[in-house]
Chains A and B, each alone.
Chain A
């Protein structure tokens, strides 16, 4: 693939709104996880909740899209001058030449959860419930495309927790094919009972904050997050500090619906493909942003895949101890954090992870430190055995 520039990017997680708040938290090693007050769960779960969404409804012409997921998307779009940069790209290329490629796993299903609790005696949903613009998987894509005034091709990818990584690959192919000149990629996933109780039912929800790669890890903490990237061909607007998308890799496990292949074979294939597309050897990677959700089997499989492909010397860790697992948003959140790490020369640490699993072989980094990072690999894996790896790098 032709390298593409991340002309601008923005994110919101429990670490804060926008790039400045995020890098500050990463430098301070300050986790955003806190006891989960969003739902009453039958265990002492932690969550990465974004503060203030309850009081920031979408109003006026956007009221029909109002739901927690689209609110969080709007909050992310308003950070870091992103809207202005998209407006400039719209003026450059025309609205019909900019595509929208978003990912989400649960979109606005929180609205439907509430609507089911408010069914009338005959079982009907309350009047005014807007399925298409809140619950539907594409509601997020529809909202983002309209909110940004774009008229190009659009999709919502929903491949569980790899959704917002795969959209980078979709957008790159669409630009390569000449169907658009630039793309908005990213997405959002927000807290809801479906995922909180669902992961609890699977027995993979942690007591206390999640501890990726720790010997005593006991499951995930769910977070919410949104992130968006303006992707276009590199040009005079970009400089040495611009981050480029260099390669993407996608694979499937063909193993199990909710457990990874124990030897991490699918993960390894996705990483190898991303490296091959970027034209890089494993030794060229300076940091790996792991999927690392802190489940027993997931971390073990990923450690195996990393060790097999990279050995023990490539620094790697997961941002889930900072943000929680933002599910469908985890790919773009990991990518935005990695882009910040490249631009600020800072390799983040891994809060809540204290003692590494002694059976692991990868070069897991516990404490943040300054580091010049030129090439970074980002992993995201999900239900259905879906794997996606991205390679980002500094332009010069």
Chain B
């Protein structure tokens, strides 16, 4: 199936926003890894900003950037939220409290612990009343989210966003689930060519075991391997290079997601939607 890409958002180590990250991924700017500094979110009111966990903030930052680039209104656009595990800090605090003699939980932490917390904050912050779905396929969560977003866009005949994000777990969970870095990537996808559309993606499921395409540099490849949301880096690198490319993304142990990426032709899209 085919889908058109209208906007990208990206916050990760040494990549602060897509405009900056594009230069890094294309090798035109030096990659200086370090935790991403997020812009103060215009989306969250002060009290929500205080209550929102880090994972929510990175998801909202990436999502907001992609929507601005696409020129779409998030209030009327369905979105898929993909994360390999939700907010580890909140889960850790809850598990710690439950292992203590008092076993008292904070109500705010409890509602922040749900996998769809970022989707909930997004809905409140943007006024989004469309379908918002939060999903997981462990290390393959980005590809699973892209498939979900593409099939939803095809079924609805309207734009759908994908926001994928992960944040490292604190100890002791980090020992059993090491995640490399806080990372959030967002795509706004349209089922048909549009003014904002700058690349076309062809999606194919590849049954069997396939080596994923590597990222552009050893440091980025390290990030790709250790951070599930960053499994999208080969796709983003092709977009940064603005060239036609075919990349395989990690999905399931015995199934990869193949993407055929085609930049917008100078004369615009000729093919029917």
Contact = CB atoms under 8 A, between A and B. Distances in A.
Contact of B133 (A132, A199, A203, A250): A250
Contacts of A23: none
A179 B96 CA distance: 42
Contacts of B136: 136-138, 141, 155-156, 158
B101 to A, nearest CB: 11
Contacts of B251: 153
Interface residues of B, number: 64
A337 interface: no
B166 to A, nearest CB: 12
Interface stretch (B21-29, B32-40, B121-129, B217-225): B121-129
B131 A251 contact: yes
B243 interface: no
A105 B131 contact: no
Interface stretch (B5-13, B171-179, B192-200, B229-237): B171-179
A257 interface: yes
B77 to A, nearest CB: 11
Interface string B233-273: 00000000000000000011011000000000000000000
Given A96-B207, A138-B137, A198 B115 contact: no
Nearest to A387: B131
A258 B84 CA distance: 23
Interface string B138-155: 100100100110111011
A142 B253 CA distance: 10
Nearest to A180: B205
Interface stretch (B60-68, B106-114, B180-188): B106-114
Interface string B49-82: 0000000000000000000000000010010000
A156 B132 contact: no
A93 interface: no
A170 B148 contact: yes
Contact of B124 (A172, A177, A385): A385
Interface in A157-182: 157-160, 166, 169-170, 172-174, 176-179
Interface string B81-120: 0001110000100111011000111110011111111011
A123 B172 contact: yes
Nearest to B110: A198
Contact of B116 (A96, A132, A159): A159
B134 interface: yes
A173 B131 CA distance: 14
A382 B132 CA distance: 12
A38 interface: no
A257 B121 contact: yes
A160 B116 contact: yes
A153 B255 contact: yes
A385 B117 CA distance: 10
Point out which of A129, A160, A255 has the most chain B C-beta atoms below 10 A from its C-beta.
A160
B63 to A, nearest CB: 14
B209 to A, nearest CB: 11
Point out which of A123, A201, A251, A257 has the most chain B C-beta atoms below 10 A from its C-beta.
A257
A123 B171 contact: yes
A158 B99 contact: no
B90 to A, nearest CB: 11
A383 B171 contact: no
15 contacts: A138-B138, A153-B255, A155-B148, A157-B135, A158-B114, A158-B135, A176-B155, A177-B150, A177-B154, A179-B151, A194-B95, A199-B110, A202-B111, A257-B117, A384-B111
Interface of B: 1, 75, 78, 84-86, 91, 94-96, 98-99, 103-107, 110-117, 119-121, 123-124, 126-138, 141, 144, 147-148, 150-152, 154-155, 171-173, 175-177, 205, 207, 251-252, 254-255
By Cβ-Cβ distance, the 9 closest A-B pairs, closest first, are A384-B120, A158-B115, A250-B131, A198-B110, A137-B136, A131-B176, A116-B99, A252-B123, A173-B151
